[in-house]
Amino acid sequence: MDLRHTPEDERFREELRHWLDETIPRQGDSPPPEAGYKAQREYDARWQRRLFDAGYAGLHWPSEYGGRDASLAQQLIFAEECARAQAPFNPTNFVGLLHAGPTLMVEGTPEQKAAHLPPILRGEQTWCQCFSEPSAGSDLANLRTSAVRDGDDYVVNGHKIWTSMATMADYAELLVRTDPRASKHRGLSWLILPMDAPGIEIRRIKTLAGSLEFCEVFLEDVRVPASHLVGAENDGWRVSNVTLRFERGTAFARQIYSMQQLLHSMLLAARRVERGGRPAADDAGLRRRIGRLQAELDALRSMLRLSLSQAARTGVPGLGASALKLKYSELWQRAAEAARELIGRGVLARDDVADLPTRQFGWAALGSLQSTISAGTSQIQRNIIAERILGQPKDR
Ligand SMILES: Cc1cc2nc3c(=O)[nH]c(=O)nc-3n(C[C@H](O)[C@H](O)[C@H](O)COP(=O)(O)OP(=O)(O)OC[C@H]3O[C@@H](n4cnc5c(N)ncnc54)[C@H](O)[C@@H]3O)c2cc1C
C-alpha cells in the first residue's frame, strides 16, 4: 500500500492553501462574543458562501447537492489545511453541515434532500439539535416529547433542553415519541422542525462562562407537516443513531486537526517558559508528556481516517464512532491540561501575556471541559464500546 499523497492530492493542497491565504484576510476576524450570535451567524454564512463559490463546501457531499465528491485523502487535507490556516469554523451551523445534512443524505426523501441540502451548503439554512430533555440525556430513549398524528400534520408537545444555538436555527433535528405504547426505543420518530412554527418558545440558559448558546425549547401544540418525517414512523431510534454516528464519528475532523496547533504552540511555549532558571523544554518529563500526546494524536487521526472511509464505503460511520469520540474528547482535555500546567495562572488571562499563547491555552482548558459530555458522555461511549463492539454483558 502506498500511503503517500498522489500528485493530484498535492495539487489540491497547494490550490487550497493559496485560496485560504488569500481569502481568510478578506473574511476578517470573527465578531467578538459581545456582538451576539446573530453577528456570528452572518459571519459564518459569509464564510460558508465563500467556500461554496470556490468549490470547497461539503467536500464529501455528492455533486448533485452542491458537494465535490472529494476523495478521503482530499477531505483530510482540507481539515488539515483549514486547521493550519486557522480558517473560520462555522460554529453556528455545526449541526446542519456535519450531522443533519449527512443524516438527510442517507435517510431523507428526494424532496427533503432538495429542500435542505443545497441551502445548508450555501450557508443559507442553519440547524440545531432538539434531542435532549430534562430526563433524557444519556438515556435518550426515555424522552417524553410527544407527536400525535392529526390529518397531514403531527402535533408536538414537550420540552427540550441544552439545545445549542436554537435562537439561530431555521430547522431542528427533532426526536419525538409517536407511539407511547411501544417499548421506549421502538416508539420514536425523527422530524424536521421548522423553528419559526407557532407554539415554539425558546429560553436561553446562561452558562458559568457567561455565554448564551444553550437554550431550552418549549413546544406547545406545534404542527409539523407529516412530510417532515425522516425515515419511517416509530423508526426514529435507528435514524437518531445515524445522526449520532455522524456527530461522533466524522463531525470532529477539524477539531482533531486543530489539536496539532495546540501541541505545536506548547512546544514553542516550552522554550520560552522558565522553570528553575532553565527553559521548560529542557525538562525530559515535559518533553515525554508532549511526545506521548503527539503519538496519541497520530493514533486518533488514524481512527478518523477509518471512520471517514467507513462512511464513504457504507454511507454511515460505524460503531467505532463512539471510540473516536471518546478518544478525541479525553485527549483534548489532557492536552489542554498539559498546556495549562505549562503556563500556570497566566491561562486565566483573556489575552496573550508575555508573548505566550495564554489566550489559546485558556480557551482550550475551558472549552475542552464540555467535550466529554456533549454528543454523549464518556461513560455512555464506554458502555457502547463494551456492549456493542466488545460484546460484554449489558450494563444493569
Ligand atoms: C456543550 C454541550 C452542547 C450540547 N448540545 C446539545 C444540543 O445541541 N442538543 C441536544 O439535544 N443536546 C445537547 N447537549 C446535551 C448532551 O447531549 C447531554 O448533556 C448528554 O447526553 C448527557 O446528558 P445529561 O446532561 O442529561 O446527563 P445525565 O444523562 O443525567 O448523566 C449524568 C451523569 O451520569 C452518567 N451516566 C448516566 N447514565 C449512565 C450509565 N448508564 N452508565 C454510566 N454512567 C451513566 C453520565 O455519564 C453523566 O456523567 C449538549 C451538551 C453539552 C455539554
**CATH classification of the domain holding 172:** 2.40.110.10
**Residue 195 shares a structural domain with residue 69:** no
Q: How far apart are CA 306 and CA 7, in angstroms?
A: 22
Residue with the nearest Cα to atom 26 of ligand 1?
137
Q: How far apart are CA 348 and CA 332, in angstroms?
A: 18
Q: How far apart are CA 328 and CA 248, in angstroms?
A: 9
Q: Could you tell me which of 92, 97, 116, 101 has the C-alpha nearest to residue 30? A: 92
Last residue of a domain, one of 65, 89, 113: 89
Residue 245 included in any domain: no
How wide is the angle at C-alpha 376 spanned by C-alphas 59 and 350, nearest 5°? Answer: 75
Contact 261, 294 (CB under 8 A): no
**Residue 221 shares a structural domain with residue 267:** no
DSSP collapsed to 3 states, 37-58: HHHHHHHHHHHHHHHHHHCCCC
pLDDT of 160 reads: 98
pLDDT of 209 reads: 73
Residue with cell string 503519538: 295
Residue 396 included in any domain: no
Q: How many CB atoms lie within 10 A of CB 299?
A: 12
Question: Probe ligand 1: pick from 135, 138, 202, max atoms within 8 Å of CB?
Answer: 138
Ligand 1 geometric centre to CA of 381 (Å): 11
Catalytic-role residue among 64, 233, 247, 296: 247
**Residue 203 shares a structural domain with residue 257:** no
**Residue 74 shares a structural domain with residue 133:** no
CATH number of the CATH domain containing 14: 1.10.540.10
Ligand 1 geometric centre to CA of 310 (Å): 26
Query: Total domain count for the chain?
Result: 3
pTM of the predicted model as reported, rounded to 2 decimal places: 0.95
Ligand 1 atom closest to the Cα of residue 370 is 53
Cβ neighbours of residue 211 closer than 8 Å, sequence gap 6 or more: 33
Using CB distances shorter than 6 Å, the residues near ligand 1 are: 128-132, 137-138, 162-164, 370, 373-374, 376-377, 379-380, 383, 395
Ligand 1 geometric centre to CA of 378 (Å): 9
Ligand 1 atom closest to the Cα of residue 138 is 29
Residue with the nearest Cα to atom 23 of ligand 1?
137
**Residue 182 shares a structural domain with residue 133:** yes
Residue 141: enclosing H or E segment and its boundaries?
Answer: none
Ligand 1 atom closest to the Cα of residue 140 is 21
Residue 94 included in any domain: no
133 flagged as catalytic: no
- Dihedral, CA of residue 32, residue 34, residue 39 and residue 45, to nearest 10: 50
Ligand 1 geometric centre to CA of 161 (Å): 11
Ligand 1 geometric centre to CA of 351 (Å): 31
Between helices 253-272 and 72-84, what is the axis angle to 10°? 40
Residue with the nearest Cα to atom 44 of ligand 1?
379
Residue 102 included in any domain: no
**Residue 192 shares a structural domain with residue 265:** no
**Residue 35 shares a structural domain with residue 150:** no
Last residue of a domain, one of 233, 263, 289: 233
Ligand 1 atom closest to the Cα of residue 135 is 26
Question: Probe ligand 1: pick from 132, 174, 208, max atoms within 8 Å of CB?
Answer: 132
Question: Probe ligand 1: pick from 175, 373, 384, 385, max atoms within 8 Å of CB?
Answer: 373
Cell of 289: 508528556
CA distances from 205 to 39, 167, 177, 216, 217 (A): 19, 11, 25, 7, 11
Last residue of a domain, one of 187, 205, 233: 233
pLDDT of 1 reads: 60
pLDDT of 396 reads: 67
Cell of 95: 449541526
- Phi, psi dihedrals of residue 34, rounded to the nearest 5°: -70, -15
**Residue 214 shares a structural domain with residue 336:** no
pLDDT of 29 reads: 92
Residue 112 included in any domain: no
**Residue 299 shares a structural domain with residue 214:** no
Contact 162, 118 (CB under 8 A): no
Ligand 1 atom closest to the Cα of residue 136 is 26
pLDDT of 222 reads: 98
Question: Probe ligand 1: pick from 213, 326, 332, 374, max atoms within 8 Å of CB?
Answer: 374
How wide is the angle at C-alpha 317 spanned by C-alphas 316 and 322, nearest 5°? Answer: 140
Q: How far apart are CA 254 and CA 375, in angstroms?
A: 16
**Residue 63 shares a structural domain with residue 152:** no
Ligand 1 geometric centre to CA of 76 (Å): 29
Write out the chain's pLDDT in tens, 396 residues: 666 788 999 999 999 999 999 999 999 999 987 788 889 999 999 999 999 999 999 998 988 888 998 988 899 999 999 999 999 989 899 999 999 999 999 999 999 999 999 999 999 999 999 999 999 999 999 999 999 999 999 999 999 999 999 999 999 999 999 999 999 999 999 999 999 999 999 999 998 777 889 999 999 999 999 999 999 999 999 999 999 999 999 999 999 999 999 999 999 999 999 988 999 999 999 999 999 999 999 999 999 999 999 998 899 999 999 999 999 999 999 999 999 999 988 888 778 878 888 989 998 998 899 999 999 999 999 999 999 999 999 866
Ligand 1 geometric centre to CA of 28 (Å): 35
Is the four-CA dihedral 29, 35, 41, 46 of positive or negative sign?
negative
Give the domain range for residue 37.
7-89
Residue 351 included in any domain: yes
**Residue 35 shares a structural domain with residue 69:** yes
Contact 44, 91 (CB under 8 A): yes
**Residue 173 shares a structural domain with residue 132:** yes
Residue 145 included in any domain: yes
Residue 106 included in any domain: no
